[in-house]
Amino acid sequence: MTSFDLNVRARAWSLAIALAGLVACSTTPPPASAPVVIAKPAAAPPVKAPERVAPTPSEAPISTPTPTATPAQPPYGPAVAARFPDPPVNYRTPAFEPGHRGFTSNAELQSLLRNLVHDGRATPGGTTVMLLSLGSSQSGVPLEALLFTRNAEVDAASLVRAGRPTVLLIGQQHGDEPAGSEALMVIAQELARGALQPLLDRVNVLVLPRANPDGAQGNFRVTASGIDANRDHLLLKTPEAQAQAQLIRDYRPVVVIDAHEYTVVGRYLEKFGTVQRFDAMVQYAMTANLPEFITKASEEWFRQPMLASLKREGLTAEWYYTTSTDIADKKVSMGGTQPDTGRNVSGLTNAISFLIETRGVGIGRLHLKRRVHTHVTAMTSVLHSAADHASDLMKLRQYVDNEVSAQACQGEAVVEAGPTPSEYVLLMLDATSGADKPITVAWDSALALRTLKSRTRPCGYWLAADQTDAVLRLRGLGVLVQQVADVGVMRGETYREVAREAGVRQDVRGTIADAGGVVLVQVETVPTLIDAAAGSYYVPLDQPLANLAIAALEPDTQNSYVSNRILSGVTSEARVMMRPEIKLVAVP
Ligand SMILES: [Zn+2]
């Protein structure tokens, strides 16, 4: 990989680091006799996320559920398999129980989580292990996370105020990618009463081990309605994506890790005659308007130590890449640059945000211990990095939140960005001999984003009074929305639609599993005075989540709220170019 210039404002970065260095971390070990706090499961926090959109027949799961964990035929011969020996570890999740043939079931997972909360064993240092209820999957399976903290007050607002960084670990958004979920059970055990406990002096940890239990149950990628949860983080159509948004909105994690698995044979064998090689594929957020210090910290504080940890365990790693499902298309792309995946949307909340993928899709339980060990190794590294940089991370978050807010009414905002076409030599495996097989591929690099469309960054957006669906979803993401108290005028720009066509959302794999298609509009902006009625809305960009609001509200992208009919049309919103001087109140 050629190095790329982050174009970091080195002086400010040095300042941030220098400031961070001034504060000594509190690493005093807790007294062994400290009281144990075992919290009862929390009542479900009030959900302000949007209402569930009823699925339509076209949203039926695209994969046929196959409950067995083992493919009918071995995916490759012994020479390839020999490249992936089991690591000398012993994990204790239900899937690894002697005689267990599948993966940990939803019922087994629920039981395991409750045992970590209720088992009553001593947890030194006053660790609270709390079960968080985040609603239910589309088929009614509870969506549950564990909170691990040593803060005295354990409600979300107190944790945010207390100033210890929170790390959120998410597994199995895609139901047929089980290793992340099994690994998070291991991580949860280690946090509750194992080697990771001492890190809780410096960080809080949220573990959402199974974000898509319906897909896990049926061994399919998407959610029960057929919508891909990991393309739904801006739109929030599914309760599964809403649950993650709720955690991120309420706990403001500074680090978010999203654990997946990738296709090992399948279309790679068809396109290249190869089998996939890397134990881990890793990528951080790469999308338009991402603060550059987030990228810098992701690389230096997290990815480099993670690669070193994996290497120490004899595990290989590469940037995350994928290829389309069109067999004739030989291009390979790094993970997408659109603001729809968990990785990119979390990045736009100013979190360090990583996708970690192991080689698991389509090979059943083959190499399961190694896949789980890869995730455990990577996530353990992340937790250590977060603890090592706890103070730096809080300063970075504050700095970036302020920096993003301060950009309102100034400069340019990127409306759409894309990857840079290049070439790359990828190591794969010869499907028969198992030997390394380098292939040169056309490679869309997300490391260098190209601006495809940009506009002057407004001060905020006006939304018509009847656009409550959009307001609910923005607030579900944590975006501040205000309401116009008295009728007034705002100086700004309206959008004029100059073309429209029906389309379907696309990503680097091909068509996104979604519902209903999109309306792709082209617009011009027209300077105007906006008559803001009482009860209409204002989304200020002088807020930390401004870049998320831009992703949702600039209308002419496939992910926008206009394209996805969450806003009723381009005339239902406008760009506000001077800070409004009319009375605005918080949305009740
Ligand atoms: Zn996935």
Residue where one domain finishes, among candidates 452, 482, 514: 452
Summarised one tens digit per residue, pLDDT across range 325-336 is: 899 999 999 999
pLDDT surpassing 50 at residue 149: yes
**pLDDT value for 501:** 95
**pLDDT value for 18:** 39
Same domain, 512 and 577: yes
Distance 547 CA to ligand 1 centre (A): 24
Distance 206 CA to ligand 1 centre (A): 20
Distance 62 CA to ligand 1 centre (A): 15
Secondary structure string (H, E, C) spanning 214-271 = HHHHHCCCCCCCCCCHHHCCCCCCCHHHHHHHHHHHHHCCCEEEEEEEEECCHHHHHH
Distance 174 CA to ligand 1 centre (A): 5
Distance 8 CA to ligand 1 centre (A): 31
- In DSSP terms, 256 is beta-bridged to 168, 353
Same domain, 423 and 529: no
Same domain, 392 and 319: yes
Summarised one tens digit per residue, pLDDT across range 219-240 is: 999 999 999 999 999 999 999 9
Domain with 445, as residue range(s), is 414-452
Summarised one tens digit per residue, pLDDT across range 84-95 is: 999 999 999 999
Distance 177 CA to ligand 1 centre (A): 6
Residues 32 and 34: their CA atoms lie apart, in Å, by 6
Rg for the chain (alpha carbons), in Å?
23
Residues 70 and 36: their CA atoms lie apart, in Å, by 42
Distance 507 CA to ligand 1 centre (A): 13
pLDDT surpassing 60 at residue 40: no
Handedness of CA 149, 150, 154, 159 (dihedral sign): negative
Place of tokens 């081990």: 209
Same domain, 314 and 395: yes
Distance 185 CA to ligand 1 centre (A): 18
Distance 570 CA to ligand 1 centre (A): 33
**pLDDT value for 196:** 97
Model confidence at 114, pLDDT cuts 50, 70, 90, reads very high
pLDDT surpassing 80 at residue 568: yes
Q: Are 563 and 521 in contact (CB under 8 A)?
A: yes
Distance 216 CA to ligand 1 centre (A): 12
CA torsion 261-267-271-276 (nearest 10°) is: 30
Distance 262 CA to ligand 1 centre (A): 6
Distance 291 CA to ligand 1 centre (A): 25
- In DSSP terms, 530 is beta-bridged to 490
Distance 172 CA to ligand 1 centre (A): 7
Distance 138 CA to ligand 1 centre (A): 19
Would you say residue 30 lies in a domain? no
**pLDDT value for 123:** 64
Distance 333 CA to ligand 1 centre (A): 15
Q: How far is CA 309 from CA 16, 284, 303, 306, 373, in A?
A: 26, 17, 10, 5, 11
pLDDT surpassing 50 at residue 39: no
Cβ burial, residue 82 (10 Å; 0-12/13-18/19+): exposed
Q: Integer distance in angstroms from the first to the last C-alpha of the chain?
A: 50
Q: How far is CA 243 from CA 5, 105, 173, 236, 273, in A?
A: 36, 20, 11, 9, 40
Same domain, 331 and 195: yes
Summarised one tens digit per residue, pLDDT across range 273-283 is: 999 999 999 99
Residues 237 and 267: their CA atoms lie apart, in Å, by 29
Would you say residue 307 lies in a domain? yes
Distance 419 CA to ligand 1 centre (A): 20
- Model pTM score: 0.89
Q: What is the mean pLDDT of residues 252-259?
A: 98
Distance 577 CA to ligand 1 centre (A): 39
**pLDDT value for 13:** 47
Distance 180 CA to ligand 1 centre (A): 10
Residues 219 and 211: their CA atoms lie apart, in Å, by 13
Handedness of CA 286, 288, 290, 291 (dihedral sign): positive
Distance 20 CA to ligand 1 centre (A): 35
Same domain, 423 and 497: no
Distance 119 CA to ligand 1 centre (A): 32
Residues 373 and 183: their CA atoms lie apart, in Å, by 7
Distance 187 CA to ligand 1 centre (A): 19
Same domain, 245 and 383: yes
Distance 258 CA to ligand 1 centre (A): 9
Same domain, 204 and 330: yes
Same domain, 426 and 527: no
Would you say residue 29 lies in a domain? no
Distance 173 CA to ligand 1 centre (A): 7
Q: What is the mean pLDDT of residues 336-356?
A: 98
Distance 11 CA to ligand 1 centre (A): 38
Distance 399 CA to ligand 1 centre (A): 32
Same domain, 228 and 314: yes
Distance 260 CA to ligand 1 centre (A): 4
CATH number at residue 180: 3.40.630.10
Task: Tell me which of 66 and 238 has the higher pLDDT.
Answer: 238
Would you say residue 67 lies in a domain? no
pLDDT surpassing 50 at residue 38: no
Same domain, 330 and 441: no
Would you say residue 499 lies in a domain? yes
Distance 294 CA to ligand 1 centre (A): 23
Distance 521 CA to ligand 1 centre (A): 29
Distance 503 CA to ligand 1 centre (A): 24
Would you say residue 329 lies in a domain? yes
Same domain, 430 and 489: no
- Tally of domains in the chain: 3
Q: Are 173 and 285 in contact (CB under 8 A)?
A: no
Distance 201 CA to ligand 1 centre (A): 32
Region of residue 239 (left: phi > 0; alpha: psi -120 to 50; beta: else): alpha
Would you say residue 12 lies in a domain? no
pLDDT surpassing 60 at residue 338: yes
pLDDT surpassing 80 at residue 426: yes
Distance 103 CA to ligand 1 centre (A): 16
Task: Tell me which of 59 and 110 has the higher pLDDT.
Answer: 110
Distance 9 CA to ligand 1 centre (A): 34
Would you say residue 63 lies in a domain? no
Instruction: Give me 85's structure tokens.
Output: 């020996």
Give SS3 for 201: helix
Distance 336 CA to ligand 1 centre (A): 12
Residue where one domain finishes, among candidates 426, 452, 478: 452
Residue type, 401: D
**pLDDT value for 496:** 98
Distance 72 CA to ligand 1 centre (A): 22
